[in-house]
Structure 1
Amino acid sequence: MISERLLQAFNEQIEIESSASHGYLNLAIWCASNGFDGAAKFFFKQSDEEREHMLKLIHYVIEREGRPITAAKHGTDHSPAPVKDIFDVLHQFYANEQSVTAAVFKLLKTAEDDGDYNAVNFLQWYVKEQHEEENQARSLIEKANLIGKEGPYKYLIDEMVGKS
């Protein structure tokens, strides 16, 4: 059985993953509405992945005899952040992944403090996943910066993100 304190921490992470899914959905919509079809495809996929992360947490909490609470019950605001250009999209992606990583580490620390080694073991997958996600976001920004803002940069960046 999961402790009440750890249950609350898992529910916070469930909300964070749900919010990330909605955030990437909004980025996908912006990309699709502005001719970045490859980037839109990428962010629709990212949105689905974040939802899968949320569901994985929900199922784990249920297995541990806890009661997960979804973000909708908390009344989370999923309004899109303003987007200036494709570079801003990539920076929002990276900032969000950094934020999710910090939240995963906080949840892991709570599990360690509770001495819940089942949860510690379960969360190692999220630690690895966040390392990969941050690395991917940083790499996309670096490549976009190499492409620059001259000539056919919009097409090249869209193609690069779409292949990620």
Structure 2
Amino acid sequence: MLNKKMYTTMNKHMNIELYSAYLYLSMSSHANAMGLKGAANWFMVQYQEEMVHFMKFYNYVNSQGAAVTLSVMSAPPSQYKSLLDMFEQTLKHEQFITNCINDLTDLALKEKDHASHIFLQWFITEQIEEEENDRDLIGKLKLVGDNGHGLLMLDAEMAARVFVPPPTTAA
């Protein structure tokens, strides 16, 4: 059972995960409008992953006997200067999410909520991967610069990304 403080904070974070999905869906649309179908695919896969993250929290909160409360969210940005700008914003957002997960984990330890602490470990590992992927793409985009051929090659690489759902767990 989640105590009130843990429930409130988890519920708030769950809504942040839902916003993340919304953000990446917007980025996918913008990349598509730029003619970068591979980047659009990359962000669509990211959207799907964020929905999985949201559902993990949703299922966990419900499994702890609490009701999920969804909140109103702001519209994500819909305009970006470049693909590099999109990935720099992506990294910044994922670093924010990492901080949120770390704060949740700290709260779980403080509240002696061992079940939530265990649940959050998956997200800690996931955030390491998220930030690394973003840094790798930012590095490649900086290397490519304004070279159209290089951008097309990178776009083709991003087109190959596929959504792989994580193994299902109890929560």
The alignment's TM-score, normalised by the length of structure 1, stands at: 0.93
Structure 1's consecutive aligned runs of 4 or more residues displaced over 6 angstroms after TM superposition are none
From 105, 121, 125, the equivalent of 1:128 is 125
Partner of residue 40, structure 1: 40
How many residues matched?
161
Instruction: Give the conservation status (yes or no) of the 8 Å contact 2:91–2:134.
Output: yes
Partner of residue 87, structure 1: 84
Q: What percent identity do the matched residue pairs reach?
A: 28
Q: Deviations over 1:89-118 (max 9, x none)?
A: 111111111111111111111111100011
SS class of match (1:29): helix
Q: Deviations over 1:127-153 (max 9, x none)?
A: 000000000001110111112213423
Structure 1: unaligned runs, 5 residues or longer: none
CA RMSD of aligned residues (A): 1.2
Partner of residue 7, structure 2: 7
Q: Partners of 1:151 and 1:36 in 2: how far apart?
A: 11
Q: Partners of 1:132 and 1:110 in 2: how far apart?
A: 23
Structure 2: unaligned runs, 5 residues or longer: 162-171
The alignment's TM-score, normalised by the length of structure 2, stands at: 0.89
SS class of match (1:102): helix
Q: Deviations over 1:11-35 (max 9, x none)?
A: 1110110010000000000001110
Instruction: Give the conservation status (yes or no) of the 8 Å contact 2:94–2:127.
Output: yes
Corresponding letter in the other structure for 2:100: A
Q: Deviations over 1:44-73 (max 9, x none)?
A: 110011011001101001111111112xxx
> 1:88 deviation in Å?
0.7
